Homo-oligomer: A and B are copies of this chain.
Amino acid sequence: MTLQEAKQQAREKMMPQCRMCKECDGVACRGEVPGMGGKGTGASFIRNVEALKNITLHLKTIHDVKDADLSFTLFGKTLSMPVMPAPVTGVNINMGNKMTEKDYIRGVVKGSEKVGILPMVGDSAFKSFLEDNLSVLQEENMAGIPFIKPWNQEELFARIDLAMASNPVALGVDIDSAGLDTLKIHGHRVDPKSLEELKAIKSYLTVPFIVKGIMTVEEAMLAVEAGADAIVVSNHGGRVLDHARATISVLPDIAKAVNGRVPVLADGGIRSGVDVFKFLALGADAVLIGRPFAQYAIGGGEEAVELYAKKIAQELKGAMLLTGIKDLQTLKEQGRSALHFEV
């Protein structure tokens, strides 16, 4: 199987919910929630992608770097690269409904395991999706990070209990889901969380706590104060608030403010290893990739997930090689000077 073949199969399985465009930029699917698009005019999804394009790299070829080291450690686990599939659920409502949720997530999880990366799995209005996701982790005895929606505390704690049975590496709450209308469609309610509520969640947890949906310095500081073990800079792929800022635009200030106290993860419009390079150069310790991993899991399962992850690794290595950066620590320290913001 090639990625091109997986892409073609994904198109057949997901049309019209996903057209598998030449460039996955949020334009054709704008406003399609449920589906793969961004909310409203789709501006937040589109802007994530567009903002990335305005950043360019200083190509360098006279130096001593002949290879680049991508190895990365998170919560004590050594991973092959600082890239993770983001938690994406809902084959039936968002991704064409041509396969079961469990088969889909199995592709994500097993493909991730093959290349040595850590998959995230998600929650949904249908509790069964979370259960499916967790059962795959258990059945396959795989490492993963479940994310729970910001339900009221009682429901949230109940779902945390459920998730703990999968022996997760960490647990996350994607508080940005507070704006996810598809959850409300099914009668559930999700809300922003106060500092006190986040502290209560942290107290309840026995594994590292990841807070996802941070878009301001102020909230990054609140998450750290609440005891988060990592944060994710994310606008939920543009699916919760139209006209939100692009994640790459807010990342540098947030990373600077966090200043290494906890790992800063980020997502938003990442399609290639060069995009990963930009996020890492601007302060992210690792990135999440959402739609592409989901699309390839639908189109080619475990094998396509593996192929896509390897492509990302090759592109990231290539970008490091052609900017003379030998490893992630150097990228963190010198990456900013490898970039140029075009007007």
Contact = CB atoms under 8 A, between A and B. Distances in A.
Interface residues of A, number: 64
A244 B193 CA distance: 41
A56 B213 CA distance: 16
Contacts of A57: 241, 243-245
Nearest to A67: B191
A177 to B, nearest CB: 9
Given A175-B61, A215-B60, A216-B60, A322 B241 contact: yes
Contacts of A218: 60
A66 B192 contact: yes
B175 A62 contact: yes
Interface string A259-288: 000000000000110100010000000000
B65 A192 contact: yes
A55 B216 contact: no
A192 B56 contact: no
Contacts of A181: 318
A21 to B, nearest CB: 12
Contact of A243 (B30, B53, B213): B53
A315 interface: yes
Nearest to A338: B216
Contacts of A191: 66, 321
Number of copies: 4
A324 interface: yes
A113 interface: no
Interface string A240-264: 1111111000000000000000000
A322 B241 CA distance: 7
Of A30, A56, A244, A246, most buried by chain B (CB within 10 Å of CB) is A56
A216 B61 CA distance: 10
Interface stretch (A39-47, A97-105, A163-171): A39-47
A86 interface: no
B58 A216 contact: yes
A192 B241 contact: no
A175 B191 CA distance: 45
Interface of A: 22-23, 30-31, 40-41, 43, 47, 53, 55-66, 150, 175-176, 178-179, 181, 191-195, 198, 211, 213-216, 218-219, 222-223, 226, 235, 240-246, 271-272, 274, 278, 315, 318-319, 321-322, 324, 340, 342-343
